């Protein structure tokens, strides 16, 4: 079995999608071994506890720099014998030590179709605000491997979602979660844990 750590900072809706998929037997050879929060009291930790998953806290405020918390995180991941790291609404920007320790083994879900509306500063509702402001007819979600470039790692999967003329950022966010994020992320995790993913340069091949 491949041991998965899910990194969170808030409510943990994408974590819940993974927990639900695991309960349905849809993570293949993967199991969620730990949920790690950079924010004490994050509701995601309650979701983990209800599912019987070990929860850990690395409070960002207690570390002098992003590098310091990254070094501590890598040490914890190694101690827990983690094979796959999933960023699920984790708001801390980790430094290169994490990517070096887990090359092509860190997944993130971004609430837009990369390379649109991505990069530094594009997270949460801002992504959807910009999509509506630009007037795009389709947005969606992207699951990608994490590299040192923000939102720049190899793309694993994407799913388009309609943007409607009367959408608010909150309504669009909910639709993209329900129709794309919560579907794509468990599928990508399963493919990784079942050893069906190969990365060749920037191209991800799923067998």
Smallest CA-to-CA distance from 33 within 76, 82, 72 is with 82
Contacts of 118 (CB under 8 A, 6+ apart): 110, 112, 127, 142, 150, 151
Smallest CA-to-CA distance from 84 within 70, 103, 71 is with 103
Residue 110 bears catalytic tag: yes
Of 83, 110, 128, 144, the catalytic one is 110
Catalytic residues: 110
């Amino acid at each position: 079995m491949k041991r998965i750590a899910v990194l969170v900072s808030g409510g943990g809706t994408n974590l819940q999608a993974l927990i639900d998929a695991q309960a349905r037997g849809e993570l293949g050879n993967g199991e969620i071994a730990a949920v790690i929060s950079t924010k004490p009291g994050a509701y995601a930790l309650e979701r983990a506890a209800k599912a019987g998953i070990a929860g850990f806290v690395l409070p960002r405020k207690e570390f002098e720099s992003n590098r310091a918390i990254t070094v501590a995180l890598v040490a914890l991941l190694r101690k827990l014998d983690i094979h796959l790291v999933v960023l699920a609404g984790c708001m801390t920007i980790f430094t290169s030590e994490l990517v070096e320790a887990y090359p092509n083994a860190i997944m993130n879900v971004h609430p837009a179709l990369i390379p649109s509306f991505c990069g530094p500063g594009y997270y949460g509702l801002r992504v959807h605000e910009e999509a509506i402001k630009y007037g795009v007819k389709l947005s969606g979600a992207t699951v990608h491997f994490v590299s040192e470039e923000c939102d720049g790692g190899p793309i694993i999967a994407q799913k388009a979602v309609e943007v409607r003329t009367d959408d608010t950022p909150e309504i669009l966010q909910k639709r993209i979660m329900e129709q794309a994020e919560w579907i794509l992320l468990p599928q990508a995790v399963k493919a990784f844990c079942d050893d069906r993913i190969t990365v060749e340069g920037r191209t991800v091949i799923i067998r």
